[in-house]
Structure 1
Amino acid sequence: MVVTRAPSARLIDPTPLPKGAVGRLDSLTGLRWFAAFVVFLHHVQNLGAIPAFAPFLRYGTYGVTFFFVLSGFVLAWSYRPSTGAPTFYWRRFSRIYPSHFVALLIAIPIFYSFHPDPAQTWVKPVSFGILILSLPLIQAWWSNPVVELSGNPAAWTLTCEFFFYALHPWIMKPFRRLSANGAILVAAGVFVLELVYREAMDRTPGTAWVHHIPQPVVQLPAFVIGMCLAVAMRRGWRLSVPPIVAYALTGAFVLFLGLMAVYPLHTWIAIHILAFTPEGMVLVCALMIAAVATRDIVGARSVLRNRFWVTLGEWSFCFYLVHATFIYLTRSIFGPESHGWATLWWWAAMFVVGLAATAALHYFIEKPVERQLRTWWDARGAKADAGVRVPAMSGEAA
């Protein structure tokens, strides 16, 4: 890794980017798609699994870890002190909530019933008290899976994201004062705290308090590490590791974990690598993000900047929200499929159906509603600055 110093003063914001750099990091948008796709591969096994792939695809759930690190990186990279906290919060709400709400409405009939079939273990009895928690996205503050996965089960991650968003403007205040080396040191410190937490989990019984820390808090270090990487890059730090190396290390890590499930080793190092799998995933995700971002910043060629991958990356949030709903709808209609290579046809069908629903949600809800909400907020702010009273939105108290 190479550290260089940007010529600007440490406290100048927004930090000028080096000559030839770009503000948009489209390759990271393209990379988002692959994170969403591995989550899909993890979930689609509930319809039918291929035994040869199963030990490896079980780790597709860590695609959400990538999203957490990336979220911290992107928000810190695009941070501008002129954007106040209320505007930041409204923009994040406008970006996330409309798609979540529609996906929730679609998911409820699939995952809830007044008279659930015991054979359909994913269907829960209707409980309005639990369901209502998924509206303000606070369900993942409970460790009970029935509550944590209430509403649209995929939306537990949005509880984490909303928590991150709430903290982001305040974390950025001290982070603005960090040098490149300082940001890397903070990231290293946060990572060490993660290791300490995992070691405490491993050494204490399941009833200990450390096992009951809510998911938003548990996942916060991944977000903060992503922020640190972005701050370091705004200060001139670059990762001198090609993306292909980062991909290879990630693949090797997953390959090792999968093989360990089939051919377990009982050596000290193998046992500890397994124990620290979540932290290893944070590390490889951070490595991939830093490597890919560096390519865009220095203007190097990147396949991920191709419009095809960028478009899929822009769809990735909606794809994440709806794909499992259609997988379980299909299972409720046709039952679980037999394991084996023939299940690839079901995987392909689920991918096509999920992608079609994704496109509809993206183009008819996500983008237009976000645009309308942001336009209203910006117009409200502009009129308020001009001393003009702004009419209330429909349903808002005047």
Structure 2
Amino acid sequence: MVLYHAAVTLVPEMYPLVSMGQTGVTFFFLLSGFVLAWSMNPKTTKRQFYWRRFARIWPLHALTALAAVVLVFATQGDQSVPQLLASLLLVQGWLGDQHWVYAYNGVSWSLSCEAFFYAVFPFLAVRLARLEPGKLFRVGATVFVAAVSFIAVLLALGPGFDWGALFYTFPAFRIAEFIVGVCLAIAMRKGWKPRFGIGVGVAAAIGSFLILEIVDGIAPWHTAGPLAGALCIPGYALLIAAYADRDRCGGRPTFASSPAMVKLGEWSFALYLVHELVLRTALELGPESLAERAAFAVVGIAISIPLAGAAYTFFERPLEARLRNRASSRGPVAEPAEKTGSFAEPAPERTLTEASARG
């Protein structure tokens, strides 16, 4: 995603090489559903769940939105207070108009989708947790087919309309990826074990990119964006399942489980929210030639990584912990399930590193 935004912002000549990067949002939404379902706990009430999700994403979102306000003011950008309020309230993804969806810190549109996913998760989890793995896979497959068919039909019936711009950021459409992630996690919690390793998962993800090359030849890329993302669902789901199974079974460490990658994983949310602001600032400095713009992109990325680390260490993590502790100090951590309306089955004995770090 970082390279994709670097191309969009500074080096459009690089776009054909990294255009698949926009499907990283699909992976993120799948992983979000998987991690929430993988780590859900029967002692967590809906109220606790919503507060923890708020503590997890909103403070850093608000901080980066403030940074975006400063950037817009400094560059005399044409953005309004209502647009800022829509962003802060995380409703911009529903508005359709790209001037609103991408206002201020443009990448925060995905948090608008996440806020919707969080809102429905407790109710969704209750129903899906009652199903056995076979039915869960049928639900996931149905959701996948429905998403692909829906956008494919729209592309066929109205090829001149920019369906991609509308549905790429539309929460009600993107929830398909989240639901598949939830189904996969619950199936694994109930004992399903993939009969393939990481090699197959990686191959499946790469195979998704090959499929997208065909899609790119059929429809304009800006129009086919949501279709491309939906087509990546199976490949990314297999990749997540393979890594989750290895983590659960205590397999040999991989590159993804190295200390450096784990640290980058902890910083990933902060990196996502700060990198485009840094790249936009670099653009405002006026690089003109390809070499200058490429150099500014490299420097921008290099600055974004330690900046994200600092944001995580000194703001995101301590403020989240403080908000969670404040909620816990107001009452018992959990009450009996029948009194609180908890929504999850017991958590698995071994959780993913990702779940324990970001849950």
TM-score clears 0.5: yes
Which of 332, 349, 355 is the equivalent residue of 1:382?
Answer: 332
Aligned residue-pair number: 328
Distance 1:166 1:291 in 2: 28
Distance 2:162 2:307 in 1: 42
Q: Aligned pair 1:177/2:130, yes or no?
A: yes
Query: Could you list the per-position Cα deviations for residues 305-325 of structure 1 after superposition, in whole angstroms to 9, with x for gaps in the alignment?
Result: 222211110100000000010
The amino acid across from 1:254 in the alignment is F
Query: Could you list the per-position Cα deviations for residues 313-344 of structure 1 after superposition, in whole angstroms to 9, with x for gaps in the alignment?
Result: 010000000001000101101334416xx765
Q: Aligned pair 1:321/2:273, yes or no?
A: yes
Q: Aligned pair 1:223/2:173, yes or no?
A: no
Q: Aligned pair 1:41/2:3, yes or no?
A: yes
The amino acid across from 2:7 in the alignment is Q
Which of 248, 252, 262 is the equivalent residue of 1:301?
Answer: 252
Q: TM-score, normalised by structure 2?
A: 0.83
Partner of 1:390: none
The amino acid across from 2:69 in the alignment is I
Distance 2:16 2:166 in 1: 27
Contact 1:202 1:275 in 2 (8 A): no
Query: Could you list the per-position Cα deviations for residues 132-156 of structure 1 after superposition, in whole angstroms to 9, with x for gaps in the alignment?
Result: 1111111111110011112210100
* CA RMSD between the two structures: 2.8
- Change in Cα spacing, 1:344 to 1:332, as seen in structure 2 (3 Å) is closer
More helix by share: 2
Which of 131, 138, 157 is the equivalent residue of 2:110?
Answer: 157
Q: Aligned pair 1:166/2:119, yes or no?
A: yes
The amino acid across from 1:138 in the alignment is V
2:196 is paired with a residue whose SS is: coil
- Change in Cα spacing, 1:293 to 1:373, as seen in structure 2 (3 Å) is same
- Change in Cα spacing, 1:309 to 1:260, as seen in structure 2 (3 Å) is same
- Change in Cα spacing, 1:259 to 1:56, as seen in structure 2 (3 Å) is farther
Larger Rg: 1
Percent identity reads 32
Q: Aligned pair 1:245/2:206, yes or no?
A: no
1:108 is paired with a residue whose SS is: helix
1:114 shift after superposition: 8.7
Q: Aligned pair 1:76/2:76, yes or no?
A: no
Contact 2:94 2:170 in 1 (8 A): yes
1:276 shift after superposition: 4.1
Partner of 1:11: none
- Change in Cα spacing, 1:233 to 1:203, as seen in structure 2 (3 Å) is same
Distance 2:213 2:294 in 1: 20
Q: TM-score, normalised by structure 1?
A: 0.75
1:129 shift after superposition: 1.6
Partner of 2:56: 95
Q: Aligned pair 1:331/2:331, yes or no?
A: no
Query: Could you list the per-position Cα deviations for residues 161-214 of structure 1 after superposition, in whole angstroms to 9, with x for gaps in the alignment?
Result: 000000000001111211111111111111111122122212322669999567
- Change in Cα spacing, 1:162 to 1:258, as seen in structure 2 (3 Å) is same
Structure 1 residue ranges without an equivalent (≥5) = 1-38, 117-123, 386-398
Contact 2:46 2:122 in 1 (8 A): yes
Partner of 2:243: 292
1:55 is paired with a residue whose SS is: helix
Q: Following superposition of structure 1 onto structure 2, how do residues 114-133 of structure 1 map, counting pairs within 5 Å?
A: 116=76, 124-133=77-86
Deviates more, 1:131-140 or 1:318-327: 131-140
Partner of 1:134: 87
Structure 2 residue ranges without an equivalent (≥5) = 336-359
Contact 1:46 1:336 in 2 (8 A): no
